Structure 1
Amino acid sequence: MGNSLLSVDNVTKRFGGIQAVDGVSLELGHQEIIGIIGPNGAGKTSFFNLLSGMFLPDTGSVSFDNRDITRTDPASRARLGVGRTFQVVRPFKGMTVAENVMVPLLVHDSGVSQAHRKALELLGDLGIAQLADTPTEALTLAQRKRVEVARALATEPKLLLLDEVLAGLNSREVIDVLPFVTTVRDRGVAILMIEHIVSAVMEVSDRMVVLDHGKIIAEGDPETVIKDPKVIEAYLGSEE
């Protein structure tokens, strides 16, 4: 418990008559990657909203880096090291890729030149330095996803919540973007990733968690989880 970066204990969240998150408990270690899968409406994004502070849980607690952040606002969580991407990627228009990455850096750094240098370093680390001067309007969806990850990393997170970073990409683009996940981990960042492409999640995850109707129905190493009859029924069966 003390070695966990993130510790979630029995969190719940209800919206009217819908129990979006139902008694979820989870431990995430430093530099660990956990993939979260489940059918539409399983509570995955609601769970991320609880972790990022956009929602506060009805019951339960969230601890991050040995601090209780259960009632902490999103900005404070970001300062503590909780970063996040969103399903719908919205880069700042009328700006280059480097300028987009500079925005979160300028929150932390006083100088524009220092922020610019760090942005270029970050883009280089992620293998997209060639996009630095490209206007965001000219980017493909796959490129916008990578810039979204770079922007999230610019906040220097210890934990990154990746919300369907592969959604909308074709199989070739998925192959191109997927190595980003392990690159991010190699920078010392722990990752929780929500994804629909099961084979992609299996490839990069240390563990996988399956949500259904707001509850965890399976958890463990990817090969074991994917063969669980409950998972096949709830998730894979519904995709056929």
Structure 2
Amino acid sequence: MTEPLLKVDNVSKRFGGVQAVGGVSLELAPAEIVGIIGPNGAGKTSFFNLISGMFFTDTGSVNFDGVDITRQNPVKRARNGIGRTFQVVKPFTGMTVAENVMVPLLVKSASVTAARRGAMELLDDLGIANIADAPSESLTLAQRKRVEVARALATGPKLLLLDEVLAGLNSREVVDVLPFVTRVRDRGVAILMIEHIVSAVMEVSDRMMVLDHGQQIAFGDPEEVIKDPKVVEAYLGTSE
């Protein structure tokens, strides 16, 4: 049996009187996509913050690629292979798309030329090489979100945390972006994906987890999870 790339064991985080995450566990295999859904305030982004190191856990542990990273800072986790996007997309202004992607590549590249070549290869692989020389200020929201993913991939992650990359997109843009997500997985990258568009998450996820009030209420096959009475109640307020 393949060892999990990520193992989150019973993690919790409290802010004052609010239990943001309460005893959540998860195992993620290499190149697997797990979708995370739940109502607003369910603790989804807080859970991401515990994995990426933005917050430290109050209880529980985080193991990544065979190493306990529970007390590692975000920089070390990123260097060890955890990439992340954020809900609010903030490209580097005054720079082109290619230059935005070159920034993380320059950490490891021998030259600007090598970084530019790596950025163009990545943009081409993800289907957005046509906007490589566009200024970041000119991009649509959908384009900015793609660039955010490309920039995260430029760090060379084994695991990518996607925080609502579909939020704010119209139905056509959602259809365009979903294949982009699966292309990331095809690069051998495991994905945890927070989204509110349940149908979209189901389409690309191998498994799906549901959080509500910081608790995991369902986890497994997407078709079965979405029919779980606890999930129906969380979203609709009734299990009838």
| TM > 0.5 | yes
What is the SS of the residue equivalent to 1:148?
Answer: helix
- The aligned runs of 1:226-237 (5 Å cut-off) are 226-237=226-237
Alpha-carbon distance change, 165 to 41 in structure 1, aligned in 2, over 3 angstroms: same
CA contact (8 A) 1:85 1:148 kept: yes
- Does residue 1:121 correspond to 2:117, yes or no? no
Matched with 2:199 is 199
Match for residue 97 of structure 1?
A: 97
1:43-122 alignment runs, 5 A limit: 43-122=43-122
Partner of 1:220: 220
Q: Cα deviations across residues 53-91 of structure 1 (Å, max 9, x unaligned)?
A: 000000100000000000000000001000000000000
Q: CA distance change for structure 1 residues 2 and 186 in 2, over 3 Å: closer, same or farther? A: closer
CA contact (8 A) 1:5 1:65 kept: yes
Does residue 31 of structure 2 align to residue 31 of structure 1?
A: yes
Cα RMSD of the aligned pairs, angstroms, is 1.1
Of the structure 1 ranges 107-116 and 127-136, higher mean CA displacement relative to structure 2 is found in 107-116
Whether the 8 Å contact between 2:7 and 2:28 is mirrored in structure 1 is: yes
Alignment-mate amino acid for residue 82 of structure 1: I
Q: Provide the rounded CA distance (Å) in 2 between the counterparts of 1:237 and 1:84.
A: 32
Q: Match of 1:217, SS?
A: strand
Equivalent in the alignment of 1:15? 15
3-state SS in 1 of match to 2:88: coil
Percent identity of equivalent pairs? 79
- Aligned partner of 2:151 in structure 1 is 151
Q: Matched residues in 1 for 2:39 and 2:11: separation?
A: 20
Write the letter of the residue equivalent to 1:84: R
- CA shift, 1:2, in A, is 6.3
CA 1:136–1:160: 2 relative to 1, 3 Å = same
Alignment gaps of 5+ in structure 1: none
Structure 1 contact 39–212 (Cα < 8 Å) conserved: yes
Does the CA-based 8 Å contact 2:11-2:59 persist in structure 1?
A: yes
Aligned to 1:40, the other structure's residue is in SS state coil
Q: Contact 1:2–1:66 (CA<8 Å) still a contact in 2?
A: no
The CA deviation at 1:235 is 2.1
Q: What SS is found at the alignment partner of 2:5?
A: strand
1:26 offset after TM fit, Å? 0.4
CA contact (8 A) 1:6 1:65 kept: yes
Deviations 1:171-221 (A, max 9, x none): 000001111111000000000000000000000000000000101000011
How far apart, in 2, do the equivalents of 1:169 and 1:123 lie? Answer: 20
> Which consecutive aligned stretches of 4+ in structure 1 deviate over 6 angstroms post-superposition?
none
Report the 3-state secondary structure (helix = DSSP H, G, I; strand = E; otherwise coil) of the residue aligned with 1:178: helix
Q: Paired residues, what number?
A: 238
Structure 2 regions of 5+ residues with no counterpart?
none
